[in-house]
Amino acid sequence: MSKQDFYEILGVSPDASDAEIKKAYKRMAMKYHPDKTGGDKAAEEKFKDVTHAYDVLSNPQKRRAYDQYGHAGVDPSHGHPGGGPGGFGDIFNDIFSDIFGGGGQRREQRGADLRYNLELSLEDAVKGTQVTIQVPNWVACGSCHGSGASKGSKPTTCKSCHGHGQVRIQQGFFTLQQTCPTCRGSGQTISDPCRPCHGQGRVRDEKKLQVRIPAGVDEGDRIRLNGEGEAPPHGGVAGDLYVEVHIQEHPIFQRQNENLYCEVPISFIMAALGGDIEVPTLNGRVKLHIPSETQTGKVFKLSGKGIKPVRGGGQGDLLCRVFVETPVDLTRKQKEILRELETEMGLAKHSPRVDKWYHRVREFFDKMKF
């Protein structure tokens, strides 16, 4: 075994972090692994040195002793890569479990999560409701109750993996773990499969579910129904069902968070003289006062006439944007009256914005050189 400095072997500095040491070891171990070097003895020795160096530097107590006393401070029985406690077998499981599957214990299978797109009217989303949905799904077989074995029989522990769902394969210095080919990771084998589900433990069905929609939900909100997702094959825990809310377009209102918006048309006479009009809210009609000389684009706020968010907070507002509608289909007499009114009113006093605009236009052309 080489007495070269462990930090030099891994190519890191003495103040390297645990993550940097771990990353360096992965890179070096892959580079000098015997399966990749074709039996090169020098590479094999280098691989042992890299493994030994990581075994010391990855252990906080050993690293402190090494930093203080060097090689003399490290008990060789704790660092030999032959496979004792703290040996290469433990290092392999720690470093490469994420690459090759790790573990060794069969995890309980979990079914896939599902998503259901639910369209709601704005009124139902604001006030809350309860809906019935039908979801095509994989459900546990009623005949075998999810086991996959026919009535009167039951699954047996897989003899290849002894119920772990994984098997170990020795490749040179490495011990790899992979899904058991006999039971395909379930840890069990079925000698007499259930006929209705063909041994899968689940069948295709359509579930009818009641979903309570809380008041105030918004576009894209999701409601989770635990255990209403897909049932996994051969038993296990069903996934979850996520009901995603989508709000239908409303003929009057647009929603933005807790506020509602709407456009309100008014006549040019109402805009000039003012008055009261009725506007809709989600709770009925209310009166809105339009002051005289109101211009297009003016926004009026009706406090508390919006939405109370599902996640809490104060009631929103209804924001009404008025626009002045130009009269259409005028009679000859009406047109004459309007021309007389225009002559009588002029621009400077009664239409200041129009007058200023024309003034700016004249100044613009005066400065232009054609």
* Residue at 87 is within a domain: yes
Average pLDDT, integer, range 46-67: 85
In tens, the pLDDT along 240-251 reads 999 999 999 999
Domain boundary among 182, 215, 249: 249
Spatial neighbors of 178 by CB under 8 A, at least 6 apart, are: 100, 101, 166, 167, 169
In a domain, 288, yes or no: yes
Please tell me the predicted confidence (pLDDT) of residue 228: 92
Q: Are residues 67 and 26 in the same domain?
A: yes
pLDDT at residue 147 in the model? 83
Give the residue with greater pLDDT, 356 vs 319.
319
Q: Are residues 88 and 44 in the same domain?
A: yes
* pLDDT tens digits for range 183-214: 877 788 888 888 888 888 888 888 899 999 99
Q: What is the pLDDT of residue 197?
A: 87
Percent of the chain, pLDDT > 70?
A: 85
Q: Quick check: 8 pLDDT over 50? A: yes
CATH number at 131 reads 2.60.260.20
DSSP string covering 253-301: -EEETTEEEEEEEEEHHHHHH-EEEEEEETTEEEEEEE-TTPPTT-EEE
Q: Are residues 233 and 140 in the same domain?
A: yes
Q: How many domains does the chain have?
A: 4
- Looking at the fold, whether 240 and 268 belong to one and the same domain comes out as no
Q: Which two tokens stand for residue 221?
A: 């909100």
Residue 323 DSSP one-character state: E
Other C-beta atoms closer than 10 Å to the C-beta of 45 total: 13
Q: Which residues make Cβ contacts (< 8 Å) with residue 158, sequence separation at least 6?
A: 165, 180, 182, 183, 186, 187, 188, 189
Tokens of 28: 């070096």
